[in-house]
Structure 1
C-alpha cells in the first residue's frame, strides 16, 4: 500500500533534542512515516529549547516547523509531566481518579506532534494555493490547553462556573466496575432504556437507576461519574459470565479492560500500526483547481467543510479546520443539537458546546427526508470536505456514503471519524471513548499509572481522535492539491489509541523513564517534578539537601519534608533556576489564564477560550 504523501520529506534534528522533547520527537517521526514522509536527519544544530523540522516537496519552498515548550516561546521546565501539570490536564484527570496526577501516557507530546504536522501540511496547502507560508510555530503547552478546552470553558463560564477540583468525586464509585471474579470492565449504552432494564435485572430500583444514569452521562461533559456505591457493590457480587449474559439480554454493552500486552497480541495490530491512525483511499483525478489565496489569509481560507458530527471527536476536527481558515458548515437536526442547552450556558448556548463549535456556520436539516438530503447534496456539490461521525452503516442507509457524494462532487475529500475505523465496522462494541480505552489497553495503562482500576474519565481518545481526524483531512487536501485525486480518509478512536501507544506496542522508540517523577505537596499547592537526567537528579539533591540515592519510599518522605518549607510557586522558581523541570500543578482551571506562559493561547470572554494552535509566517 502506497503512503499518501510519498514524495514529501521531513528534515529535522529529531534524534538530538532536549530531554523533555524526546517523546514528541519519537511521535513526530512515527506519524510522519505513516503519512509517507521520508525522514532525513538534518545536519544543523538542534534547538536548545525546543524542536524544529523542515517539510520538503519538489514543488514547494521549504516549510520550517518549530515546536516550543510554551506558547510564549520559552521552554523552561518543559517535560510531558510538567506540561500536564501546568495545563490543567492533571486536574481534569484527577477529578475522578482521586488526586491531581499524570495520565501515564505521553499524551501532550503525541497531541503536539499531530498538531505540528497538521500545521506544516496546512502551510504546504497554502503555498500550493499561491500563499507565502515559510514557517509554522506551535507548542507543547498550547497542545495541552487545547486538550482540556471544553473543561476550561465550563470552569470559567460567566454564570454557573463549575468548580470541579481533583478528588471531587470518589475514585471507587465510578466506572470501570469489577466482577466477583476480579474482572474490571466498562459498561456502555447511549440510551436510558437498556440502562434501566439492566439495573432492574441486577436488583437496582428505578429511582437509583435514574440517579446512576445522570451520573453516568456526566463522564463526557465533566470527567466525573459520581454513582451510588450500591452500583459497584451489586456488580462485585456477580460473575463476569453473569454480567455478560444480563448485558446481552438487556441491550447493554460490556467490555473487559485489556492490557497493552493483550492488545499487542492482536493479529491485526502490526498492519494498523504501520498505516498509522488513518486509512486513505484515493479516487480518480477530477482536474478541479483550488481557489487562490489572498494576502493575509489562512491556508484553508476559501475552502468549505460540511460537518455532520456529534459529541467531541468530530466537532473538534471541524473546529481545528476552522482555526486554519476553512468555512465549516455544521449540519444539525431541526431544533439544533441537544448539547447546545447543557449548562453552564452563555447567551443560551452551552459553553462546552461553544468551545468546539463557535467558529462554524450552522444549518439545521432533516437529512432523513428527501428534501433535506437534496439540500445537503447541493451544499456538497461545491464543498471541499464532507466530515461525519455517524454510526457504522448510517451513511449508506441515508444515501450519503462516499459513492453517493462523489457522483455529485468527484473531487470531494470524504472523511469519517469513527470509533473502530472503516475496516472494523462489524465490531460488536459501541465505538465510544471509554469502551475504546478499555479495549485498546489505554485504560489499563492509565489505571496502572494512576493507581485506579481503569482509564480516565477525561475524554482522552475523543480529543486525540479529533486531532488525528483533522490531520488526516489536511493531508488529504495536500494530496488532492498535488495529484488532483479525491481522497477518502478514515480515522477512529482506536487509531488514536494506537498512535498514543505506538512506542510501547512496537517495542521501539520507547522513551527512557524519568529518574524521579511525581507530584508533591508543598507549604501551599502541589508541585510536579520530573528529573530526566542524572545531572538534574544531582541538582535536586543539592537544592533540597536530600539523598536521592535512597529507597523510593524514603525519598518521597524526604521530598515531602523538604518541600513543605516553601510554596509550590516559590519552589518552581528555585528549581527552574537550577535547571530542574518543575511546575505548579494547576488544580483550579479558572487560574490557567494567570500563567504568563499560556496567555498567548487563551482569550478571556464570556468564558476562557483556546486560540488557534498555530502561528504562520
Structure 2
C-alpha cells in the first residue's frame, strides 16, 4: 500500500506500507506476519499453544507507525531536511511489539526459554467466579494482594507465589497461579469477590464485551477524533526551528521523558529512533527495573530494549530542588512526556500550565491509562485492566480460544505508538502554524483504535467481512498459518492441496488438517506461497526468529536480538 502525505508548503511524502521487511509482496497478511514474527508464540505462552491474537493488531500498529513516520518526515522537511519517502512494514511493526520478549529470549547469558503452552492456560489471569463471571484484578502493591487472599483463607506462602507470577506477567507474558488461588475464586460469586477486593484495596473489573463498550459515553468522541485529545497552547511562535543534524527527521529536537513500565518508555524510544535527543528522568539511584534479570553489563535487557538510546538524568521530582531542575530541562526542550498517575502532575506543580510558563513552545504529552473518564481513575490504568474494560480481552478470548485477553502487553505497546504518534502530530502543527499545546493519549484510546472497525460495525448493525479461510493448522511437523481473503484464493488453496474443500468452515478446516499432515510446515509454506497464497510457518522459538529472511532486516543481534527502527527514510 502506498499513500501520499500532503501538508501546506511541503513536497509530497510517499509512505509505503509493506508486508515483509525485505519488500517482497508475497504471502504477507495479518495472520502470517503474526506467525512468522513470533507474536503468536508470545501470546501462546499462557494460552495453551501458539495462536493468533484474533484482532488486527499488527495492521493497526503498522498503520499508526506509517502515519507517525509521515508526520515526522514532514517536520524534518520544515526544518530543512529532504525526506520524501517513508517505508514501514508489518514485519517491522510486529518485531517492535515483541521487542522486550525478544531481548529476554536471545540474551547470551540467562535467556528464558518460554515456549507456547509452557504454563497452564487455566491457572492464569483472568479469573472466573462461581457464577461464571470472568474478571481481572489489579494492584501495583503487594499489601492489598496479601490482604485479599488472607481474607479468603489462603496461606501467605501461596499468596506470595501468586504475587510473584502476577507482578511479572507484563514482562514475561505468563502468570502461573497456584491452583489453590484459582479454586478459591471459583467457589465464590462475583459480587462477594468484589466486596473482598474493596475491603483489601484491590481493583476488579469484569471482562466486558464490545457491545457493552458501545454504551459508554466516552466512546463516540474517541471513534470520531481518534485516540488523542489536543489542547491548544501558546500561539504565534516561530514556525521553523534549527535544522536537523544527521539523517533522521527529528534530529536536533529534545524530548524530556518521565515514564515507567512500557507505554511511556516505548513512546520515548520511538522519538529517539526518529532522531530526537531523549533525556530520561529517573529516581536517584536509577529505575529499579534496570535490575530485572536477565542482565547485560548490569542492566536488564527488557529495560534496555526500550531505553538504550536515551540519556539519563536522576532527579527527585518530589523535592523542590528536583522540580526546579526539571523545569530548567523543560525550558530547553521541545517535548515533555510523562505517564504519572492521574492528578500527580498538578500535585507536583508540573502540569501543562506550569511548564508552559518556562517554555511556551513546549509540547506537553501525557500517556495515561483511562483518558478523560474520571470515573475510571479509581482503577489502575494498566494494560490488563484496560483490556478487560474496553472489550479487547473478550474479543481476543472469543477469537483465539483463550481464557481471556492476552498476557502479552497488547495495549501498552499500541498505547506507546499512539502517544508518540500524537507527539509527532503536535510537532508538525507547531512547525506549520506556530502553536504549541498539550496532547493526551491513553490505553483506552488505543483499545478503541484497535477495535474501531468492530465497534463501528456493531453501532451500524453491520457485519465485517471476514477471510474465508484464516487459521493455524498442524502439519506433519509444526504449525502453519493460512489466510485466504476471497473465493479466488480459496480456489488456489484447493488446487495447491489437490483436494475439493467443503464450503462449510468446520468441515473445510478438518480437510485442510488432513491434507497438511503429509509434509512439515516449511514444505507447505514454500508450496502455498508459490501458489500465491498467504501462508507462513509459525515461529514458536523466539531465539530463531532472526533466521527468517523476511524478518531478518527488522533485527540486529548484539548481546541480544534487538528490533530495529520500524522506519526507513529517503
TM-score of the alignment, normalized to the shorter chain, above 0.5: yes
| TM-score where L is the length of structure 1 | 0.90
One of 278, 285, 290 as aligned partner of 1:340: 290
Residue of structure 2 in register with 1:58 after alignment = 8
Residue of structure 2 in register with 1:549 after alignment = 502
Unaligned runs of 5+ in 1: 1-50
Residue of structure 2 in register with 1:573 after alignment = 526
Deviation at 1:287, TM superposition (A): 2.1
Residue of structure 2 in register with 1:197 after alignment = 147
RMSD: 1.3
1:599 aligns with 2:549: no
Residue of structure 2 in register with 1:484 after alignment = 434
SS at match of 2:104: helix
Distance in structure 2 (CA, Å) of the matches to 1:422 and 1:290 = 32
SS at match of 1:141: helix
1:251 aligns with 2:204: no
- Summarize the alignment of residues 42-441 of structure 1 with structure 2, pairs less than 5 Å apart: 51-288=1-238, 290-294=240-244, 296-424=246-374, 427-441=377-391
Deviation at 1:506, TM superposition (A): 1.1
SS at match of 2:233: strand
Distance in structure 2 (CA, Å) of the matches to 1:240 and 1:246 = 10
Deviation at 1:294, TM superposition (A): 4.9
1:589 aligns with 2:542: yes
One of 466, 486, 489 as aligned partner of 1:533: 486
Q: Alpha carbons of 1:286 and 1:399: their partners in 2 closer, same or farther (altered >3 Å)?
A: farther
Unaligned runs of 5+ in 2: none
1:443 aligns with 2:393: yes
1:559 aligns with 2:512: yes
Distance in structure 1 (CA, Å) of the matches to 2:375 and 2:346 = 12
CA deviation vs aligned residue, 1:203-257 (integer Å, no higher than 9, x gap): 1100000000001012110000001111111001111111111111110000011
Residue of structure 2 in register with 1:28 after alignment = none
SS at match of 1:407: helix
Distance in structure 1 (CA, Å) of the matches to 2:158 and 2:76 = 55
CA deviation vs aligned residue, 1:282-319 (integer Å, no higher than 9, x gap): 11215245433257431111100000000000000000
Are the counterparts in 1 of residues 295 and 301 from structure 2 also a CA contact under 8 Å? yes
Residue of structure 1 in register with 2:475 after alignment = 522
Distance in structure 1 (CA, Å) of the matches to 2:187 and 2:45 = 27
Instruction: Report how many aligned residue pairs link the two structures.
Output: 567
Higher alpha-carbon deviation: 467-476 or 297-306: 297-306
Residue of structure 2 in register with 1:31 after alignment = none
SS at match of 2:87: strand
Are the counterparts in 2 of residues 175 and 225 from structure 1 also a CA contact under 8 Å? yes
The runs of 4+ residues in structure 1 deviating greater than 4 Å are 508-511
Deviation at 1:168, TM superposition (A): 0.8
Are the counterparts in 1 of residues 76 and 249 from structure 2 also a CA contact under 8 Å? yes
| TM-score where L is the length of structure 2 | 0.98
CA deviation vs aligned residue, 1:444-498 (integer Å, no higher than 9, x gap): 0000012223100000000000000000000000001111111200000000000
SS at match of 2:45: helix
Residue of structure 2 in register with 1:30 after alignment = none
CA deviation vs aligned residue, 1:574-599 (integer Å, no higher than 9, x gap): 00011111001010011111111112
CA deviation vs aligned residue, 1:56-110 (integer Å, no higher than 9, x gap): 1221111111111111111210111111111111000000011111111000000
- Greater length-normalized contact order (CA 8 Å, ≥ 6 residues apart): 2
